[in-house]
Structures are given as C-alpha cells and as structure tokens.
Amino acid sequence: MKNKLLLRGSLAAALAWQGLLCQAAPVSISGRDIGGVVTGDKGPEAGVWVIAETTDLPTKFAKVVVTDDQGRFVIPDLPKARYKVWVRGYGLVDSGKVASARGKLLKLTAVTAPSEKAAAEYYPGMYWYSLLTIPEKEDFVAGAIGNNGMAPTMKTQAAWVDTVKNMCQSCHALGSKGVREVPETFKKLGDSFTAWATRTQAGQAMPYMAVVLGSMGPEKALSTFANWTDRMAAGELPFDKPKRPEGLERNVVYSLWDWASPKHYQHDAISTDKRNPTLNANGLIWGSPEESTDLIPTLDPVRNIAATVTQPYRDPKTPSSLDLPHGNSHYWGAEAIWDGHTSIHNLIMDESKKMWFAARIRPEANPDFCKKGSTHPSAMVAPLNTSARQLSLYDPATKKWDLINTCFSTHHVYFGHDANNTLWTSSGPPMSGVVGWLNTRMYLETRDEVKSQGWTPLIIDTNGNGKRDEFVAANEAMDPKKDKRIMAAFYGVMPSPVDNTIWGQSMDKGFSRVDQPGYIIRLDPGADPSNTALAEIYQPPEGTFGPRGIDLDSNGVVWTALSSGQLASFDRRLCKGPLNGPSTAEGKQCAEGWKLFPLPGPQFKNYKEPGSANHAYYVWVDRFNTFGLGKNVAIASANGSESLIAVVDNKLVNLRMPYPLGFFTKNVDGRIDNPNTGWKGRGLWTTTGTRTTFHNEGGVNNYPKVYKVQMRPDPLAY
C-alpha cells in the first residue's frame, strides 16, 4: 500500500512537471474568463502576475491577476476580444505572449531572470531611488549651509527628504527607468552633472523644477542626482528585494483602459459622489488633466470607449501652458506637448451627477470685490488680490458650463454634509493663508457667484476663551489678549462626516514656501465662518514629518500620509491636554492622538531615521466598504511602491500594480455598480498620475490609464 501511494505521488509530480497541473488541481472558469496554471523551472509559480491585453476594443484594455499558491489563475469577466497573455513576477523576466480567447485554459511557463540585474528591472521604483544618497546631517549645520552647494534655507536633513518626496517624487516617478537612466540626448553633453542640469530644463515643467532645485540648492541637488545615476550606470543594484504578493494581495483583480493622450497627463479621476458610492453606477469615469490640456478625458467602462469634453475659460488672456519656457526634451524634441489653459487639478461629482472642477478660468488678478475696500464679508476680513485657479461646473445632461469666479485659489474640492451642500476647497501652493467655500445651493438657485462664496483666514484661539477675537498677524508675536493667525492653508481638504468641522492638511516648508512645519488642521466654521471660524493645528509626532493628503473615517478619525515614510491616523477624541490657549500655537499638543504605520520598503541607504523611502501622494478612506476589505479601511496612493496600500486590522496590504511598470497614482475613489453581485459589482477607480507617462514602460506610446481595482474572496473566483 505504501509503495502504491509513493507511486501515485511520483506520477502526480511527473504530470505537473509535464505541464498538466490543471488535471491534478483543476481550475474552473466560465466562457468569459481565461484561466490556467503557471509553472517555472522549480514547479508552480505562486504570487506572480498574469496579464491579458487586447487592442481589439475601442480603447486598449488589459486585466491583471495574481496566481495562488499552486500557480493557478483566473482572469475573470473579459470583454469579447482576442488577447495576448503573459507572466510577470519578482525573480522572473516576462514570459512570451500567448494568444488566447475567452473560455480557454492555458499552461504558461514562467521565465527565471538570468541575473539579479534583469530581475531588478521589475522592482518598484523605490527600490532604485532608495539608492539616492541623502546629504549627511553635518551638511545642514551652521557654517556648512550655503558653502557646500546647499540652499541656505534648507536647514535640516528631514527638509531635504521631504522636498525629494513631496516636490520631486510627487510629480515624477523617481525610480522609473526613464529617470534612473540618463537618456543619451543629455549624456552626450558632458558629465552627469551637466546632463542633469539640462534634463531638468527640458519640457514645460522647467519653471517648477527650477523652484524646487532652488529650494534645495542647485549645485547640491544636481550633484546628488548625478552621483545616483552614475552609480547605477556602473552596475549598482538595489540593496533590498520586494516580496511576491501574499494572502489578500493575491485576491486582487486589476482592469485598465487607455484614455487621454501620451502627451497629456492626468492628476485625478472620479467615478461617483464620494458621499454615496452607489451614484453613477456603470457611468463615465472623469479625469483632470491639470496643466497639460483643456480636454477632460472620460471613459465608458461598459462600452470601453474613451472620449473627451473641452473645458472652456472666461478670459481670452487666460495663461496657456504653451507660454511656459522649456528646453528640448529627449522624448519630444522642441515640441511643447502641453497646451492647457484651465489647469484642472481636481474634480468632484455632486448628488445629481453634475461635475465640479478646480479650474483656471481667467488670469490671476482678482476682481475688485475680492480686494481691500470691498464690502464682501470675507474681503473685509482677508482681502485677496490674486487667485491661481477658480471653479467650473459641467452638467453632462444639458452639456452646459458655468465658470465661477472665486477670489480664493482652488486646488482640491470636496462637498460637505450640510443643507447648503457647501463645496469646500483647498488652495494648494503657494499658500494663500485662507480656506474658501461655495454655497452651491445658493449658487444653483441664483447663479450669484459673489454672494455664494466666502473664505476665512486660519485663526488659532491662543487666548483660550473659546471664541474668535481680534488676532495678531502670522509674523507677529503672540498677544495674551488676542488670537493668532497662521499663514498656512489647506492642501488636502475634507469635511467631517460626524460634525460641522472641516479638516485640512498643510505642507511642510518646502512646499508651502513659508517657514513652518506641516500640519493637519481642524477648522470649526461657526455661525459666520469669515468672522467666527477657529482653527486647531497638529504637527505629526516627533521624528516624523511631511503630511500629504487627508481623509476621515466615519468616526471622524483623520488619516494622512507622511513623507517620513508612514501612514498616520489622528483621533482627536484621545487628546488629554488643552486644545486652545497659547500652548497650542505650534501644534505640538496631543501626541497621544497619533498612530503610525510604517510604509513597506527600504529606507534610503544612508539615512538612519525611522520610516521608509516609500512615499504616498494621498490617502482615501473607504467609509462604505466599497472595496470589500472592511468599513473605514484607509488606502494610500503609494507611488513609491507603485501600489495601493490598505490598512486592514492594523496590518498593511500592499496591492502592487505591475503593468505598465511605473504605476503612479494620486487619488482613489470607490463605486458600487451593483450591490447584489458581491465583489463583481464593486471596485476602486484611479488613474495614472505622473506628469511623465513616457518615462514608464511603453515610452512615448504609453497612454495614461484608468485603473479599476477589485478584491475577490480568493484568487480563483470568477
């Protein structure tokens, strides 16, 4: 009997080795799926990706899944088309592409990487940019600053790291192949320092990059990046390796569609009203192309059709991206590929499916009602001379536009939960020192853009009497009888779902361009926000820094991402000390309210502080269990690890999107298309967020993508 069992085991192993594992461990599929098994030179390949792609549909489409512990896979619910299917994974190089149709079972062969270098080509970008040498602490001491190429205003090592992440990595995927390798166009100009000096002047982002380099010290920054690329060109490889997906990470399904244009990048995407994820079921996905174009992309994910809607502007003198100075690009030569006027940064959908945009509709100079001497209630408190971006409204049903002239700059926009359906905005950089809003109920009833808007400075109750009084300016010393203004403003903005407060997040010094740390900010508007709003500020815990992005769960707990390499939550209910009075002017109170979750991945090689080189651009909280990992799960847009990172039961789930290489997103939202079909009727939606899609896999032929992310109960569900 024992010998018969051994024989059976040997036979099963032999069958598996011959590629017949599907018979020993069958995979069930429907006529809409492709399934099978992946084996390598050591047997089944667990935790690798299987990619199916087609160009038969109106726009290019692909779907990606992960193999289970026996190397099995199911790619579910594919549109009718011809597909190319292949395998990608850590420790591998891409397999050959196999032609297939729906309803087929495939036996795919994984290809082991022939070298560590070949394997590392598939690692997330942070494994490469963690090789960047961070200047030593001695470079920031008095006497060294300014004499070593460092900008005199760059005073700490933490500020340097924050700038690299929040001002460099936030627009460009630093570890992507297009950044970590210097193109021949620039190499031939001389040494690597010259190459980097020239490449940072290429393209229409040159003015912004000049500001960033100036904040770091051009000589120090360029020599640091030149050293980094020189070492990699000489053969230096990442000192750490990623792990293959495990557990819940293997249940994920990614669908991706091309939209927009290879020349026009996207910043955000929206699928529904964030307060009601069942709205707009199976409807269009909308994008925001920022500086690149006035063409707003849309995707019909049912018919697989990508299209555009043109955003108008009010004043023919509205600045154009074509006016931006730029040098020659390795990819596009002298062509100026951005042609936008409207600078659409962020967008939101309301309860009637109308679309609201943070959009530029005119030149920066404000109308008189915004300025000193105006009788507008907000202008009487905080007059504003300029705004960089305003608001627009589009009704897809009527195809009509409203262009709304705001005194305050807009950056991100989110609806509150009040009867006026107030649209709260952040101002972004440079920080204006105010928070603005639009009473959309009043506006839609009257179309009166002047009366419908308002704004307030950020005032801290430093005299501790519980109300807003006369205040000292941000650059003035505190007065025990007065309150204190801070010249911060919101970058992220989020109305609380549990009370009337509005929460925001302000960047650290490098981004805000004022001498302050980063905060999360609680704004209590009061009865007359321009005159009654009070702010509380909170700095991240000692040793951490750089908050970016903000969302709240259904209990009012705040989430943000830190450039020191953590996700962080803040629960004001846990605060023990006073939350007003003079001791709160710096925002160092309530350390007990914070909880930290270190991001996965290596720290910079020579940087000894806690955290990770990984970086998340923004964070979204799934209040409605839209995704299926639970209610109030926080999900970070981690462009360092090229993934979405979810916090589930205090543990991180790292959902890496492996194709095209260089996955880079800035926001997420979730939609329920059909609550009666389980995981199939639910999903997260996002888009490619890097300004340079051509740095990633596919080069100048790489389009921005719309990504739908779904969570199955197991890797073989269909």
DSSP collapsed to 3 states, 416-477: CCCCCCEEEECCCCCCCCEEEEEEHHHHHHHCCCCCCEEEEEEEECCCCCCCCCCEECCCCC
Closest by Cα among 98, 95, 90 to 52:
98
Task: Indicate the domain borders of the chain.
Answer: 2-120, 408-598
What's residue 23's pLDDT? 47
Instruction: Kindly state the DSSP code that residue 699 receives in the 8-state scheme.
Output: G
Condensed to tens digits (0 to 9), the pLDDT of residues 51-91 reads 999 999 999 999 999 999 999 999 999 999 999 999 999 99
Looking at the structure, give the CATH architecture of the domain made up of residues 2-120: Sandwich (2.60)
What's residue 509's pLDDT? 63
**Rounded CA gap, 584 and 536, in Å?**
8
Q: What percent of the chain has pLDDT over 90?
A: 90
What's residue 515's pLDDT? 65
Amino acid identity, residue 340?
A: G
With a CB cutoff of 8 Å and minimum separation 6, the contacts of 265 are 289, 290, 292, 688, 689, 690, 691, 692, 693, 704
* 4 class by beta-carbon count within 10 Å (0-12 exposed, 13-18 middle, 19+ buried): exposed
Confidence of residue 602 (pLDDT cuts 50, 70, 90): very high
Q: What percent of the chain has pLDDT over 70?
A: 95
**Rounded CA gap, 272 and 669, in Å?**
8
**Rounded CA gap, 237 and 657, in Å?**
22
Q: What is the pTM of this model?
A: 0.95
Spatial contact of 533 and 482, defined as CB atoms under 8 Å apart: no
Beta-sheet strands, E only, within 479-626: 483-486, 492-495, 502-506, 519-524, 534-538, 547-552, 558-562, 566-570, 594-598, 616-622
Mean pLDDT of the chain: 94
Closest by Cα among 179, 27, 6 to 105:
27
What's residue 508's pLDDT? 78
Spatial contact of 50 and 30, defined as CB atoms under 8 Å apart: no
Condensed to tens digits (0 to 9), the pLDDT of residues 498-544 reads 999 999 999 876 554 456 789 999 999 999 999 999 999 999 999 99
The DSSP result for 65-85, as a single string, is EE--TTSEEEE-SPPSS-EEE
Classify 685 as helix, strand or coil.
strand
Q: Count helices and strands (H / E) in the chain.
A: 14, 40
Indicate whether 716 pLDDT > 60. Answer: yes
Condensed to tens digits (0 to 9), the pLDDT of residues 260-299 reads 999 999 999 999 999 999 999 999 999 999 999 999 999 9
For the chain, the helix, strand and coil percentages under 3-state DSSP, each to the nearest 5: 20, 30, 50
What's residue 152's pLDDT? 87
Burial per residue of 651-672, b for 16 or more beta-carbon CB atoms within 10 angstroms, e otherwise: ebbbbbbbbbbbbbbbbbbbbb
Confidence of residue 26 (pLDDT cuts 50, 70, 90): confident
Is the Cα dihedral 137, 138, 144, 150 positive or negative?
negative
What's residue 24's pLDDT? 45
Burial per residue of 87-103, b for 16 or more beta-carbon CB atoms within 10 angstroms, e otherwise: bbbbbbbbbeebebebe
Indicate whether 133 pLDDT > 70. Answer: yes
Condensed to tens digits (0 to 9), the pLDDT of residues 568-579 reads 999 999 999 999
What's residue 430's pLDDT? 61
* Token duo for residue 282: 């199976």
**Rounded CA gap, 393 and 666, in Å?**
22
